[in-house]
Amino acid sequence: MNSKLRWISWIGMIGFISCLVLEPLVFAQEKEAETTQETEATPESAGNRMLKRASHGISNMVYGPLEIPYQMKAEIKRSDPVRGFFPGLVKGVGWSIARNAVGLFEVLTFFREDEPVLPEFDTEWLYA
């Protein structure tokens, strides 16, 4: 009986080890097939590009006022709270006006298939 348990345990261990060894090989082929399907995706339609541009313009107008505290924070980090407050305020007002103007421009000209004028607003600092 003892030798029978040994054989069963050896067969079980060999089966387990073979599953561990062969599993990455099997799933690697599936992942390669998935990546080739992803690269062959259809290009973005004109309607989606226009919607993306309009939404980018709206987000620029929404996040425009947040440029003021964002730039103030950046200037205060760059120097100190006393010397960074006023330059950050001025820079923030300038960026806020620019972001709102660009947002309005992108909303009014959403039908053009141009790239966004400004990069997306960094909202990560809001949650930090």
56, with CB counted inside 10 A (0-12, 13-18, 19+), is buried
Hey, what amino acid is at 123? Answer: T
pLDDT of residue 69: 92
Residues 2, 57, single domain; the answer is no
Domain of residue 26, residue span:
1-41
pLDDT of residue 113: 77
Residues 53, 83, single domain; the answer is yes
Residues 15, 75, single domain; the answer is no
pLDDT of residue 18: 56
CA distance 70 to 94: 12
Q: pLDDT means per 10 residues in the chain (128 residues)?
A: 68 59 52 57 77 90 92 91 91 95 92 82 76
CA distance 113 to 51: 10
Residues 34, 90, single domain; the answer is no
| pTM value > 0.75 | no
Residues 54, 81, single domain; the answer is yes
For residue 67, which of 83, 86, 91 has the smallest C-alpha distance?
A: 91
Rounded alpha-carbon distances, angstroms, from residue 64 to 46, 73, 75, 118: 27, 15, 17, 11
pLDDT of residue 124: 81
